[in-house]
């Protein structure tokens, strides 16, 4: 696609429910990144994919968080048993995968856990 597409754009969920966030990167971009941004804060790294593999999962806050990427394209970030502290904007970005390229971000998913 022309840009990075994320869905849904907004999600309100009840505490304890599971949620899935989707990211569709730019076609041909091999690297895909997930970040979390709380209101007025910086970018918190969660995980990145090179192709379908995730060399670095160190940013995932807990074992309630998981992510996968299939076909070197679409990625899904799953949060199980959501907690109120999970409320944030979840941003996905992609890049051509080699060093020295800028990231293209999607518009994000605003997650609110009530």
Partner 1 sequence: GQQVMQIPQYQHVQEGEDFTTYCNSSTTLSNIQWYKQRPGGHPVFLIQLVKSGEVKKQKRLTFQFGEAKKNSSLHITATQTTDVGTYFCAEPAMDSNYQLIWGAGTKLIIKP
Residue pair 82/18 in contact by the 8 Å Cβ criterion = yes
> How many Cβ atoms sit within 10 Å of the Cβ of residue 46?
21
Please report which helix (H) or strand (E) contains residue 13, including its range: strand 10-13
Question: Site map for partner 1, 84-103, x if CB under 8 A?
Answer: -------x-x-x-xxxx-xx
Among 65, 108, 111, 113, binds partner 1 (CB under 8 A): 108
Task: Please give the Cα distance from 71 to 93 (Å, whole number).
Answer: 17
* Range 43-72, binding partner 1 (CB under 8 A): 43, 45, 48, 50, 55-56
Interface residues with partner 1 (CB under 8 A) are: 31, 33, 42-43, 45, 48, 50, 55-56, 91, 93, 95, 97-100, 102-108
């Amino acid at each position: 696609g022309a840009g990075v597409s994320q869905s849904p754009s907004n999600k309100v969920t009840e505490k304890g429910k599971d949620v899935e966030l989707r990211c569709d990167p730019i076609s041909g971009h091999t690297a895909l990144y997930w970040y979390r941004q709380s209101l007025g804060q910086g970018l918190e790294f969660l995980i990145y994919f090179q192709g379908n593999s995730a060399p670095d999962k160190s940013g995932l806050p807990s074992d309630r968080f998981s992510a996968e990427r299939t076909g070197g394209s679409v990625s899904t970030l799953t949060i199980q048993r959501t907690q109120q502290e999970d409320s944030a904007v979840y941003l996905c970005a992609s890049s051509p995968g080699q060093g020295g390229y800028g990231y293209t971000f999607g518009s994000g998913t605003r997650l609110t856990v009530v």
